[in-house]
C-alpha cells in the first residue's frame, strides 16, 4: 500500500496483463461431430421415407373414400351408375378422365381427388392445371343403368387404384364403403370348392 500526498491510502494494483486464451475446436472434434450427424441422418432417412409413403397411402385412401361417397350420391340422385365408357380415339384417356371428373364434381371430388400422390411423384409432378395432363389414377368399375346393380354385392369394387404403388397391391373401395388393398383381399378370399 502506498500513501498519497493527502494521506489517503491507495491500493497499488498488481494486476498481470490478462492472458488471452483462444478457444477453438480441433480438427478431430469437428470430424467427430460430422460423423455423429452423418450416422444420425443415415438412421433417420428410412424413417422419414416410411412416414412419407404412409402419408401418401392415407391420402389415396381418403381420395377413394371421397370418390365412393360422391358416386353413392350420384347413384341416389340420378338413379344409375355414371355410364362412362372409354372410346378408341387418340384422346380416349383424357376424354375418360374428363368425363368422370365432370360427373362427380358436383358431389365434391375435384380433379386432385382423382390423383394418387405416389403416382403423381412417379410421373414427375406434372402441372394438373394443364389440360393435356388430365388423368385419373383410380379406375371406375362399369355397371349397367339399373339403380340397384352397384349395390348387389357388398364386396363389389367400385374404384381401384391403377397400380401397386403402395406395396400391397392396388387399393380398392367396395360397394359397402370399405377400402382394402389387393393383397389383403386375396388373403381373406375363401378358396373355391374343389370340383367333385
The secondary structure of residue 55, as a DSSP letter, is: H
pLDDT for res 72: 93
Under the banding of pLDDT at 50, 70 and 90, the label for residue 43 is confident
pLDDT for res 18: 60
pLDDT at 74 over 60: yes
Task: Estimate to the nearest angstrom the gap between the alpha carbon of 117 and the chain centroid.
Answer: 5
Report field, pTM of the whole predicted structure over 0.75? no
pLDDT for res 11: 58
Under the banding of pLDDT at 50, 70 and 90, the label for residue 52 is confident
Give every CB contact of residue 32 below 8 A, 6+ residues apart in sequence: none
3-class secondary-structure state, position 126: coil
Distances (CA, A) of 88 to 31, 93, 95, 153: 63, 9, 10, 30
What is the spatial distance between Cα 24 and Cα 106, in angstroms, rounded to a whole number?
66
pLDDT at 66 over 90: yes
Give every CB contact of residue 48 below 8 A, 6+ residues apart in sequence: none
The ranges assigned to domains in the chain are 28-188
pLDDT at 50 over 60: yes
Minimal CA–CA distance to 139: which of 119, 121, 122? 119
pLDDT for res 4: 55
Q: Where do we find the cell 381420395?
A: 63
Residue bearing the bigger pLDDT, 174 or 47: 174
pLDDT for res 106: 95
Amino acid at each position: 500500500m502506498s500513501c498519497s500526498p493527502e494521506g489517503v491510502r491507495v491500493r497499488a494494483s498488481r494486476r498481470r496483463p490478462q492472458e488471452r486464451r483462444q478457444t477453438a475446436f480441433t480438427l478431430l472434434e469437428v470430424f467427430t461431430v460430422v460423423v455423429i450427424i452423418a450416422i444420425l441422418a443415415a438412421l433417420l432417412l428410412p424413417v422419414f421415407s416410411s412416414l412419407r409413403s404412409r402419408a401418401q397411402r392415407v391420402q389415396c385412401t381418403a381420395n377413394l373414400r371421397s370418390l365412393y361417397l360422391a358416386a353413392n350420391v350420384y347413384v341416389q340422385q340420378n338413379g344409375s351408375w355414371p355410364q362412362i365408357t372409354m372410346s378408341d380415339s387418340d384422346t380416349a384417356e383424357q376424354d375418360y378422365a374428363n368425363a368422370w371428373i365432370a360427373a362427380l364434381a358436383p358431389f365434391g371430388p375435384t380433379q386432385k381427388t382423382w390423383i394418387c400422390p405416389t403416382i403423381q411423384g412417379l410421373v414427375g409432378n406434372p402441372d394438373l392445371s394443364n389440360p393435356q395432363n388430365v388423368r385419373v389414377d383410380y379406375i371406375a368399375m362399369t355397371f349397367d343403368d339399373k339403380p340397384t346393380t352397384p349395390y348387389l354385392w357388398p364386396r363389389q369394387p367400385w374404384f381401384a387404384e391403377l397400380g401397386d404403388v403402395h406395396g400391397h397391391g392396388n387399393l380398392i373401395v367396395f360397394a359397402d364403403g370399405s377400402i382394402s388393398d389387393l393383397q389383403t383381399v386375396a388373403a381373406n378370399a375363401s378358396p373355391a370348392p374343389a370340383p367333385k
